[in-house]
């Protein structure tokens, strides 16, 4: 596994307690993901896009979107959330006759941010964070060049946590008065965070030179970046024996993005 080219902007004092041990642990966590891992995850997202979301990108005949959701909704639900429980909640929330709601989300006439807000507000029986993950996950996986994710691990305004404020250095640019503005702000900070990506050694020409792969470069990088911090702070607090039971950092990133883990050799016990 190749190591990052130079010290990552992900690893900085403002991302956690001012503790040199934590700083060193974060550096160790960063060594557990490589640029090849980010490329592989982006490729897996591109393959899933072609297999599961192809045909939803453009306006379809009336009822075509609902028909596609009816045939593969359980798989779609698993793709837009990071736990099986959440996927079941989404799947059980909708009856076949409800799938027409997704046509307005994907191809409605309103600006995207307002479509997201309207969709979430209509699903008031769902947890707002889960409804946002469903809405933004559908849009991003359908048209990744035009839309971005808004997940709780990117930015959770209820707790003030996520990888985006860590990379941006504050929550200032993420604070919003409503869902539509919040969605727009998440997109702006996501784009800004790519400046940090270029200094990590994980953002490479190989990642962005392929058109299909490049569509998912941001998501692949941000999921890995979040897990560098999560894994680093977890390892900082837990024993080495427990850390050896954790999944690999790339597989933790895959889980966040609704991807299946890849087989890997069991960790070495020292």
pTM of the model: 0.85
**What DSSP assignment string belongs to 34-48?**
-HHHHHHHHHHHHHH
Environment class of 85 (CB within 10 Å of its CB; exposed 0-12, middle 13-18, buried 19+): exposed
Answer left, alpha or beta for residue 71, where phi above 0 means left and psi between -120 and 50 means alpha: alpha
Q: What is the per-residue pLDDT for 24?
A: 60
Block means of pLDDT (10 residues each) for the chain, 270 residues, are: 39 46 63 92 97 80 82 95 95 91 92 97 94 97 96 95 90 96 97 87 94 96 90 60 70 95 61
Alpha-carbon span 135 to 222, nearest angstrom: 19
């Amino acid at each position: 596994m190749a190591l990052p080219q130079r010290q990552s902007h992900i690893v900085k004092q403002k991302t956690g307690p001012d503790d040199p041990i934590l700083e060193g642990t974060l550096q160790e966590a960063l060594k557990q993901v490589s640029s090849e891992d980010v490329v592989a995850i982006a490729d897996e997202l591109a393959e899933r896009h072609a297999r599961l979301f192809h045909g939803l990108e453009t306006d379809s005949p009336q009822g075509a979107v609902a028909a596609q959701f009816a045939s593969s909704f359980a798989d779609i639900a698993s793709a837009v959330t990071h736990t099986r429980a959440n996927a079941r909640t989404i799947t059980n929330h909708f009856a076949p006759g409800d799938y027409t709601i997704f046509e307005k989300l994907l191809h409605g006439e309103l600006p995207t941010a307002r479509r997201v807000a309207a969709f979430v507000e209509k699903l008031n029986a769902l947890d707002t964070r889960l409804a946002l993950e469903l809405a933004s996950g559908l849009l991003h996986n359908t048209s990744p060049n035009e839309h971005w994710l808004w997940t709780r691990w990117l930015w959770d305004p209820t707790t003030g946590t996520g990888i985006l404020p860590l990379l941006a250095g504050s929550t200032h640019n993420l604070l919003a008065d409503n869902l539509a503005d919040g969605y727009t702000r998440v997109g702006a900070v996501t784009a800004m965070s790519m400046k940090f990506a270029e200094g990590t050694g994980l953002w490479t020409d190989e990642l962005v030179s392929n058109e299909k792969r490049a569509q998912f470069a941001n998501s692949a990088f941000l999921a890995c970046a979040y897990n560098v911090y999560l894994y680093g702070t977890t390892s900082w607090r837990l024993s080495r024996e427990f850390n050896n039971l954790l999944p690999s950092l790339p597989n933790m990133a895959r889980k966040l993005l609704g991807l299946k883990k890849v087989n890997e050799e069991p960790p070495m016990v020292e």
